[in-house]
């Protein structure tokens, strides 16, 4: 027991180390030998960790702990004023996959002004959405069509496509939106749904062509 306590303390201290490689090893240790004492520190570190690969290890370590210990605290992080805290908590909830977290995936998060938070919320939402609520979720996600740069748009398209054919009525409506960016994004998403192998860039170029010709997706 004394050895276990020593290892736990060493890992907790390692999570605070200035060296990213030491923090990575500490997160690995926390996931390899789960301990309730790790949970708070792992979540706290997620909010401030600068290195992507360390954040991924922190998330993995949290998934190794019982969801009853992690999910309530992660849900609390969704109300943080820190964008990274919200984004990483959403990312971790999507990896845990406990649908008890679904009510916490609010419209405010799905439309968050920070692109990384919104993208994480979209990914979490499609994992956690209860059966029968996909169409409603698609309606909220569709309000974000045309948003941001290419990477953000691809994330939204992937989230919508993950919901399946239920998105089609929403996409068809968006294809007639007054905003050309919304129309283009909706058409590209529909093309990608029909032909996943084509790739998003091709789908976007097709959408541009369709809009330039003044045709609908079905006619193009």
Asked if residue 169 is part of any domain, the answer here is yes
Question: What is the domain extent for residue 144?
Answer: 129-220
Please state the domain count of the chain.
1
Asked if residue 18 is part of any domain, the answer here is no
SS3 106: coil
Asked if residue 33 is part of any domain, the answer here is no
Instruction: Return mean pLDDT, the chain.
Output: 91
Asked if residue 21 is part of any domain, the answer here is no
What would the pLDDT profile of 189-215 be if each residue is shown by its tens digit? 998 888 777 666 766 677 777 776 665
Backbone angles phi, psi at 25, to 5 degrees: -65, -35
State how far the Cα of 202 lies from the Cα of 191, in Å rounded to an integer: 9
What would the pLDDT profile of 141-190 be if each residue is shown by its tens digit? 999 999 999 899 999 999 999 999 999 999 999 999 999 999 999 999 99
SS3 68: helix
In this predicted structure, the answer to whether residue 20 has a pLDDT above a threshold of 80 is: yes
SS3 108: helix
Asked if residue 41 is part of any domain, the answer here is no
Q: At what angle do helices 52-63 and 36-46 cross, to 10 degrees?
A: 150
The confidence band for 217, taking pLDDT boundaries of 50, 70 and 90, is: very low
State how far the Cα of 83 lies from the Cα of 101, in Å rounded to an integer: 19
What would the pLDDT profile of 22-75 be if each residue is shown by its tens digit? 999 999 999 999 999 999 999 999 999 999 999 999 999 999 999 999 999 999
DSSP state at residue 105: S
Asked if residue 144 is part of any domain, the answer here is yes
The confidence band for 135, taking pLDDT boundaries of 50, 70 and 90, is: very high
């Amino acid at each position: 027991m004394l050895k276990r306590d020593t290892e736990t303390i060493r890992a907790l201290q390692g999570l605070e180390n200035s060296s990213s490689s030491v923090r990575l090893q500490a997160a690995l240790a926390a996931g390899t030998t789960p301990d309730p004492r790790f949970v708070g520190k792992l979540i706290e570190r997620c909010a401030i960790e600068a290195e992507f690969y360390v954040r991924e290890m922190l998330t993995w370590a949290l998934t190794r702990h019982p969801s009853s210990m992690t999910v309530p605290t992660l849900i609390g992080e969704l109300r943080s004023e820190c964008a990274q805290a919200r984004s990483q908590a959403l990312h971790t909830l999507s990896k845990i996959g406990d649908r008890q977290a679904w009510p916490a995936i609010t419209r405010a998060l799905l439309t968050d002004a920070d692109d990384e938070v919104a993208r994480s919320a979209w990914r979490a939402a499609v994992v956690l959405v209860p059966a029968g609520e996909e169409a409603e979720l698609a309606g909220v996600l569709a309000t974000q069509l045309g948003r941001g740069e290419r990477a953000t748009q691809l994330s939204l398209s992937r989230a919508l496509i993950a919901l399946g054919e239920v998105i089609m009525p929403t996409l068809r409506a968006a294809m007639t939106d007054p905003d050309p960016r919304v129309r283009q994004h909706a058409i590209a998403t529909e093309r990608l749904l029909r032909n996943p192998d084509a790739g998003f860039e091709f789908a976007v170029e097709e959408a541009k062509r369709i809009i330039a010709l003044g045709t609908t997706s079905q006619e193009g």
